[in-house]
Amino acid sequence: MVAKEVIDQPNVNLESLKQDPRTGKLLETGCKVGRLFELNYLHILDNKMDTPSFPNDRFIQTLLCVVELKSFQIPYQQIFQAYVEASSYDIALFICKTTQDMVLLLLYVDDMIITRDDVASVEELKQSLSQKFEMKDLGGLSYFLGLEVISSDDGYLLSQVKYASDLVSKTELNDSKSVSTPLEPNVKLTFMDGSPLFDPTRYWQLVGSLVYLTTTHPDIAYAVHMVSQFMAAPCSTHYVAVLLIIRYVKGILFHGLHFSANFSPVLRAYFDADWAGDPSDHKSTTGYCLFLCNPLIS
């Protein structure tokens, strides 16, 4: 509770808190930072990043305590960047580089994945971060945000069995017969199909769940793309199409992406487009697919 003694004061110097040896309470000294840190804390961090003494652990810990006590909406990724380098390609990816190695860390709120060929480097990073943040090591990766990871000598299998099963149960399609295709052949959905849904909330929820399911089921990507076009004003026919996709998912619950342990990381990309194939506005639809060696990843 680093910040409890000073939270109600109008101005607080967050980096100059010292402990009174007689009472054990925190005392403030030096210039004031004040409550404006809620809006300006990033500016404070940026100004300190170039100094050899930053990051100051007490400063970061105090800031996080104040954030928790006052429920300020501050992205923790920005705090985390004080300790590891953020990737310019993905805001959730952090990189820890050394002269001989590089460790990758994927962060989502308070869950993270750390990976590297060298186990010693991973352990070193975990020990370093555990000294600055309260952390718990959950061991080898097996489940992360609905993604199930099965490792073997042959490689890794990524799937979403539980996530997909819950989606089928949510739509009460457990007793329905599965289908062999996610879309009816030669069917072109339009904005005028069927009658408008009285409450499109359920449609939005199901389509959103299907979008996330394409992470390990790229075979439904095109069908999900089709029903995603009608999020603004879905109709009954579009909802039936969503249920058809879920019935297809019911038949492929245990499918996933397998990444072999013995493959060369060759990336292949394919692209194609139809010609004015949309019956609503005669626009062309483009498509692409990316393969990492053999697995289809996007």
**Of 138 and 225, which is predicted with more confidence?**
225
Mean per-residue pLDDT over the chain, rounded: 75
- Give yes or no for residue 101 having a pLDDT over 70: yes
For residue 189, how many other CB atoms are within 10 A of its CB? 22
Q: Range with the lowest mean pLDDT among 20-24, 30-34, 55-59?
A: 30-34
Q: What is the pTM of this model?
A: 0.68
Per residue in 229-284, pLDDT tens? 999 999 999 999 999 999 999 999 999 988 888 877 788 999 888 887 777 777 88
Percent helix, percent strand, percent coil in the chain, to nearest 5: 30, 20, 50
The pLDDT-based confidence of 220 (bands split at 50, 70, 90) is: very high
Which of 35-49, 80-94, 243-257 has maximum average pLDDT?
243-257
**277 closest CA partner among 222, 203, 232:** 222
**175 closest CA partner among 253, 238, 250, 252:** 250
CB crowding 45-59: b at 16 or more within 10 Å, else e: beeeeeeeeebbebb
Question: Cα–Cα distance between 180 and 244 in angstroms, integer?
Answer: 10
User: What are the DSSP calls for 105-122, one per residue?
Assistant: EEEETTEEEEE-S-HHHH
Mean pLDDT of 169-183: 91
| 3-state SS assignment for residue 73 | coil
Query: What kind and span of H or E run contains 167?
Result: helix 161-170
The pLDDT-based confidence of 16 (bands split at 50, 70, 90) is: very low
Query: What percent of the chain lies above the pLDDT cut of 70?
Result: 71
Per residue in 127-141, pLDDT tens? 877 777 777 888 888
Helix axes 201-213, 161-170, angle to 10 degrees: 160
Residue with tokens 């990381």: 265
Question: Cα–Cα distance between 39 and 137 in angstroms, integer?
Answer: 33
Tokens (6 digits) for 119: 């186990």
Question: Cα–Cα distance between 96 and 232 in angstroms, integer?
Answer: 42
| 3-state SS assignment for residue 150 | strand
Listed by start position, the domains of the chain span 17-74, 85-155, 161-292
